[in-house]
Structure 1
Amino acid sequence: MASTNPTLGALLRGLRTREGWTLKEMSAKSGIPVSTLSKIEHDRLTLTYDKLLQLSQRLGLRMSELFAESTGTAEQAVTARRSIGDMARAVHVETPNYDYYYLCTELRRKRMIPVLTKIRAKSVAEFGELVHHSGEEYIFVIEGGIEIHTEFYDPVVLKKGESIYIDSNMGHAYLTAPGHDEALVLGVCSSADEGLMESLLTLHGDGEIALPAEARG
């Protein structure tokens, strides 16, 4: 019967996860090359007791802490971050297809990006190529109606009060639904990529970006 005891690689990986370190950060703290740490974590290399003692000392840990297993029940740290979104403090990006109002932009490294969007494009030909970016997104129709075109599904029309959740890596475009000149939607884009905001802004090409008055000084 296979042993259920964790390997050294699993223990080191657990330690990194608990401390929030990258391999590069652990390498800098321990003095062990990144390549060596990677091999240990993938159980392709082990360390002698002397090396383990050296590792624990350089990391400022007791040996018992080094070998402590994660219970998986540790509470996530409370950051107490908060931001109130309003149009006066939004970053406004105007493009031929949309008016975007990025909210709560003073918070950095967000994993959710809230965006109010006025949609004007009426056809795929007018819109251009479908958009792709990392993560997922949720769209809620506040006013008007929208027609959603995606890479793998037939177009769908949403009315006021309806919503959709999609994989943002899939090509997509939001158009005004027939009978509407404009539509207003609230979108929330989410990704593990901490540079999501910057990635979204690059999608706008030559769109005109207007910072909120307080940011312009």
Structure 2
Amino acid sequence: MKSHQPTIGGLLRSLRARNQWTLKQMSEHAGIPLSTLSKIEHDRLSLTYDKLLQLSQRLNLSMSELFAETHAPATRPVTARRSIGRMRDAARVTDKNYDAFFLCTELRRKRMTPSVIQIRARSLKEFGPLVRSQGEEFVFVLEGVVELHTEFYDVAVLQTGEGSYIDANMSHAYVLGRNCESARVLAVSASDDAGLLATLMAHQEEA
């Protein structure tokens, strides 16, 4: 049975179709070489989380808009939206620090971006420079132990069943706790700014 899990290539094809761009036009807007973009759209090549954030910045889209698949006319009035988040339907994005599964990707222009994230970095040194974005961020530890590093507070150790709520414009990082081999968290980023995750990428690029 064919999987309905969205792929990065499929999402980019949908985005290009919504804007009625040719592959060449998409390449120029995105800053991605034509041959590379073609491989991505045909799922022969993927993008890291950092590169996706860079792409969203170039296209002036939030990450949720970049991941959105359009199934209804854009003029349809929205009065009561609902989306069921299932891991099998999540859009997966991986980089050196996180393995993120974005949920409810079919909803566009949402104020919250929910995801389930596998923590990869074992130390702050391995993580690299702290990151920051606009809005607020809630992280709840589903399994394992996580260290929260911030620029204004001492390190906070979060056990399974514990969470943190922070102003995300404060530089921060999540890494594995001491002697912890694996940790998974539920993360929710919220902001009125449509460019929430694109802003995060801008600061990462500056680091």
**Partner of 1:20 in structure 2?**
none
**Residues 97 and 119 in structure 1, CA contact (< 8 A), matched pair in contact too:** yes
2:118 aligned with 1:118: yes
**Partner of 1:187 in structure 2?**
187
**Partner of 1:92 in structure 2?**
92
Q: Counterparts of 1:150-189 in structure 2 under 5 Å?
A: 150-189=150-189
**Equivalent position amino acid for 2:167 in 1:** D
Q: What does the per-residue CA deviation read over 1:140-193, in whole Å, with 9 as the maximum and x for residues that have no partner?
A: 000001001001001010100001100000000000101211100001100011
Aligned length: 129
2:145 aligned with 1:136: no
Secondary structure of 1:125's partner? helix
**Residues 132 and 200 in structure 2, CA contact (< 8 A), matched pair in contact too:** no
Q: What does the per-residue CA deviation read over 1:47-88, in whole Å, with 9 as the maximum and x for residues that have no partner?
A: xxxxxxxxxxxxxxxxxxxxxxxxxxxxxx972111111112
Question: What are structure 1's unaligned runs of at least 5 residues?
Answer: 1-76, 206-217
**Residues 142 and 184 in structure 1, CA contact (< 8 A), matched pair in contact too:** yes
Runs of 4+ aligned residues of structure 1 deviating over 3 Å after TM superposition are 197-205
**Partner of 1:196 in structure 2?**
196
**Residues 142 and 186 in structure 1, CA contact (< 8 A), matched pair in contact too:** yes
RMSD: 2.0
Secondary structure of 1:126's partner? helix
Q: What does the per-residue CA deviation read over 1:7-53, in whole Å, with 9 as the maximum and x for residues that have no partner?
A: xxxxxxxxxxxxxxxxxxxxxxxxxxxxxxxxxxxxxxxxxxxxxxx
Q: Call closer, same or farther: CA 1:187–1:200 in 2, change over 3 Å.
A: same
Higher relative contact order (CA 8 A, sep 6+): 2
The CA distance in 1 between the partners of 2:193 and 2:185, in whole Å, is 23
Q: What is the TM-score normalised by the length of structure 1? A: 0.55
The CA distance in 2 between the partners of 1:119 and 1:150, in whole Å, is 16
Question: What are structure 2's unaligned runs of at least 5 residues?
Answer: 1-76
**Partner of 1:209 in structure 2?**
none
Deviation of 1:196 (Å): 2.6
Larger of the two Rg values belongs to structure? 1
**Equivalent position amino acid for 1:108 in 2:** R
Secondary structure of 1:88's partner? helix
Secondary structure of 1:152's partner? coil
The CA distance in 1 between the partners of 2:197 and 2:151, in whole Å, is 23
The CA distance in 2 between the partners of 1:92 and 1:197, in whole Å, is 15
**Equivalent position amino acid for 1:149 in 2:** H
Q: Percent identity, aligned pairs only?
A: 53
**Partner of 2:53 in structure 1?**
none
The CA distance in 1 between the partners of 2:203 and 2:158, in whole Å, is 24
Deviates more, 1:86-95 or 1:138-147: 86-95
**Residues 134 and 200 in structure 2, CA contact (< 8 A), matched pair in contact too:** no
The CA distance in 2 between the partners of 1:105 and 1:202, in whole Å, is 22
Q: Counterparts of 1:39-78 in structure 2 under 5 Å?
A: none
**Residues 143 and 160 in structure 1, CA contact (< 8 A), matched pair in contact too:** yes
